[in-house]
Amino acid sequence: MDAALEVVGLTKAWPRGQPGRAFALDRLDLSVPRGSTYALVGPNGAGKTTFIKLLLGIARPTSGTVRLLGGSPDDARVRARLGYLPEKLHLPLAWTALEYLQSIARLKRATAPLLPLLERVGLPAHAHAALRTFSKGMRQRLGLAAALVGAPELLVLDEPTDGIDPLGRVEVRALLREERAKGTTVLLNSHLLAESEQVCDRVGILHLGRLVREGPLEALTRTAGYCLRFESPPAPELLTAHALTALDDGGYLFPGDDARALNATLAALLAKGCTLTALEPRSASLEQVLQEAVG
């Protein structure tokens, strides 16, 4: 599949005298397919912010290569096809929201109307308000609108829901799903793993500057077995006979992934009058996967 971004052997050494490990990033290889929503996760100090800075040309690698949308991050034509929301957004507080978006549009030579972007992030009534009056969440929403100026092909979002209330996070998730449906590639760096799980289809786990896990979210979180749910609890002897274990959430664990054995167990339980209400593949949370990967 065509890559929206690709890094090969990407390495960034710490400055001299930096305590701890020698490299912020150590020979990183990563390819993000076009049209995917990719979460980059890891503990503090893993190298996530350094990676984004190298990706965007804000910092220079010690060695290795970076390709964005088939070109170089130093190419202004490539940068014009990107949208970026930094972790720490600095705004000109005397400007209005619309003036700020207009400045971004001039830089990107974008000509599409800007008010619809403010509508998408829930700020249409504040287009002419000075940014000094904005709350942290409102500023974050404006930063997201700025990242969308020019209909970018690649969105790089560093903690996009920081400071946004729970209802606002729902709106941001919906916006990201809309972008994905349009074919936009999204690279998401967030400490909110549950948020990432809801919007991302691929995940990379960074630890001590190295990529320790990478792949489709479903593959990374899938664990052995299935969760079976019934209208009423099966008799204890049935559970014992079919090696089913009660789970804390009210379901029952069928161990293993043998499809024939699963079907035979279901047939036997149904024949005994049990009513199946749900059958779910077992999976771990992204938080559990992260703990296992870096533990």
pLDDT over threshold 90, residue 16:
no
pTM of the model as a whole: 0.83
**Tens digits of per-residue pLDDT, 124-147?**
999 999 999 999 999 999 999 999
Strand pairing partners for 83? Answer: 155
Give the C-alpha separation, 235 to 255, whole Å.
Answer: 18
State the pLDDT at residue 1: 56
Q: Is the dihedral of CA 191, 105, 117, 153 positive or negative?
A: negative
Domain 3-219 has CATH 3.40.50.300: yes
Nearest to 104 by CA among 182, 112, 122, 57: 112
Domain-by-domain residue ranges, the chain? Answer: 3-219, 223-294
Task: Catalogue the E-assigned strands of the chain.
Answer: 3-13, 23-33, 37-41, 63-68, 82-85, 154-158, 185-189, 202-207, 210-216, 222-230, 245-246, 252-254, 276-283
Look at residue 151 in the predicted model and tell me its pLDDT. Answer: 95
Task: Give the model confidence (pLDDT) of 211-244 as tens digits.
Answer: 999 999 988 988 889 999 999 999 999 999 999 9
Least confident stretch, 13-27, 187-201, 266-280 = 13-27
pLDDT digits (tens, 9 = 90+) for 151-203: 999 999 998 888 889 998 999 999 999 999 999 999 999 888 888 889 999 99
